[in-house]
A and B are shown apart, each in its own frame.
Chain A
Amino acid sequence: MNRFDAIVVGGGHNGLTSAAFLARAGLRVVVLERNPYIGGATVSRELHPGWVYSNCSYVCSLLRPEIYRSLELGRHGLQIVPYGGGVTFTRDGDVLGGYVDKEVRRREIARYSARDADAYLRYGRDVMRQCRLVRSLLMRTPPDPTSWRPRDLREMLHVGREFARLGEAGIYDTIRFYTMSIADYLGEYFESDVVKANFAGSGIIGTALGVQSPGTAYVLLHHYMGDVDGQAGAWGFARGGMGAVSRALAAAVQAHGGEVRSDAPVARIRTRAGRVVGVALENGDELDAPVVLSALDPKRTFLGLFDAGDLDPRLVKRARDFKIRGSSGKLNIALDGLPSFPALGPKHPLLAGDMHFLDSLERFERAYDDWKRGTWSQDPYLDLLMPTMTDPTMAPPGKHFMSVFVQYVPHRLAGREWTDADRDAFRRTVFAQISRYSPDFEKLVVHAEVRTPQELEAEVGLTEGNIFHGELTFDQLLFNRPFPGFAQYRGPFRGMYLCGSGTHPGGGVMAAPGANAAREVLRDLRRGSTVPEGWSDD
Chain B
Amino acid sequence: MRPPREHYREVVRRTPFHSRTTRANELNLWHRWRDYTVADAYFDVTLEYTALRNACAVFDISPMTKHRIEGPDALSFLNRLVTRDVARIGPGRVGYCVWCDDGGQVIDDGTLFHLQPGSYRLCSQERQLDWLTRSALGFNVSIREETEEVAALALQGPTSCTVLRALGLDGIETLAPFAMRTYALAGAELLVSRTGYTGDLGYELWTAPAQAEALWDRLFQAGEAYGIRPMGTHALEMARIEAGYIQAGVDFLPADRAVRVDRTRSPFELDLGWLVDFSKPNFTGRRALLDEQRRGSRYRLVRLDVEGNKPAKDAYVYDDRRNVIGAVTSALWSPMAKSSIALASVRMPWGRPTDELWAEIYYQKELKWNRLNARCRVVKGAFYEPARRRLTPPPAW
Contacts and interface: CB of A to CB of B under 8 A. Distances in A.
A, B: real partners: yes
A118 B127 contact: yes
Contacts of B34: 103
A125 B256 contact: yes
Given A107-B35, A114-B144, A128 B259 contact: yes
22 contacts: A103-B12, A103-B34, A103-B35, A108-B7, A110-B3, A111-B2, A111-B5, A117-B129, A118-B128, A118-B131, A121-B127, A121-B130, A128-B259, A129-B261, A132-B259, A165-B260, A166-B261, A167-B261, A169-B103, A170-B261, A349-B8, A538-B260
Interface stretch (A92-100, A210-218, A263-271): A92-100
A122 B256 contact: yes
A114 B132 CA distance: 12
A99 B127 CA distance: 19
A37 interface: no
A97 B5 contact: yes
A95 B4 CA distance: 11
Interface in B219-268: 256-262
B145 interface: yes
Given A121-B257, A125-B259, A108 B129 contact: no
B65 to A, nearest CB: 10
7 smallest beta-carbon distances between A and B, as pairs? A118-B130, A167-B261, A118-B129, A119-B130, A111-B2, A128-B259, A118-B127
Contact of A115 (B3, B7, B129): B129
A150 to B, nearest CB: 29
Interface string A114-143: 110111011001001100100000000000
Given A103-B35, A129-B261, 13 more contacts: A94-B5, A99-B8, A103-B11, A104-B8, A111-B2, A111-B5, A117-B129, A118-B127, A118-B128, A118-B131, A121-B130, A122-B256, A125-B257
Contacts of B261: 129, 165-167, 169-170
Interface of B: 2-3, 5, 7-8, 11-12, 34-35, 103, 127-131, 133, 144-145, 256-262
A112 interface: yes
A366 B7 CA distance: 33
Contacts of B129: 114-115, 117-118
B130 A122 contact: yes
Interface in A57-95: 94-95
Contacts of B103: 169
A101 interface: yes
A129 B260 CA distance: 7
A167 B101 CA distance: 15
A104 B7 contact: yes
Contacts of B128: 118
Contact of B130 (A94, A97, A115, A538): A115
B130 A111 contact: no
A97 B11 contact: no
Contact of A97 (B8, B12, B133, B145): B8
A149 B129 CA distance: 51
A125 B127 CA distance: 15
Contacts of B145: 114
A200 to B, nearest CB: 19
A95 B8 CA distance: 12
Given A115-B133, A118-B127, A129 B259 contact: yes
Contacts of B133: 115
A257 B8 CA distance: 52
Given A103-B35, A125-B257, A170-B261, A95 B130 contact: no
Contacts of A97: 5, 8
A111 B2 CA distance: 5
A114 B7 CA distance: 15
Contacts of B131: 118
Contacts of B260: 165, 538
Nearest to B32: A103
A128 B108 CA distance: 21
A416 to B, nearest CB: 45
A20 to B, nearest CB: 33
Nearest to A349: B8
A128 B128 CA distance: 20
Interface string A147-177: 0000000000000000001110110000000
A44 B131 CA distance: 47
Nearest to B127: A118
Nearest to B133: A115
Interface centre among B128, B259, B261 (most CB of A within 10 A): B259
A125 B258 CA distance: 7
A97 B5 CA distance: 9
A129 B258 CA distance: 9
Interface in A513-538: 538
B11 A104 contact: yes
Nearest to B145: A114
Interface in A323-340: none
A95 B5 contact: yes
A194 to B, nearest CB: 10
A102 to B, nearest CB: 9
Contacts of A117: 129
A229 to B, nearest CB: 19
A94 B35 contact: no
B31 to A, nearest CB: 13
A115 B131 CA distance: 9
A119 B129 CA distance: 8
Contacts of A99: 8
Interface in A359-406: none
B256 A112 contact: no
Contacts of A119: 130
B7 A101 contact: no
A110 B133 CA distance: 14
B130 A107 contact: no
A185 B298 CA distance: 33
A7 B127 CA distance: 57
Nearest to B258: A125
A132 B5 CA distance: 34
A101 B259 contact: no
B7 A107 contact: yes
B255 to A, nearest CB: 10
A324 B216 CA distance: 67
A67 B154 CA distance: 53
Contacts of B127: 118, 121
Contacts of A111: 2-3, 5, 7
Contacts of B2: 94, 111-112
B380 to A, nearest CB: 33
B307 to A, nearest CB: 32
Contacts of B11: 101, 103-104
B221 to A, nearest CB: 34
Nearest to A126: B259
A197 to B, nearest CB: 15
A417 B32 CA distance: 58
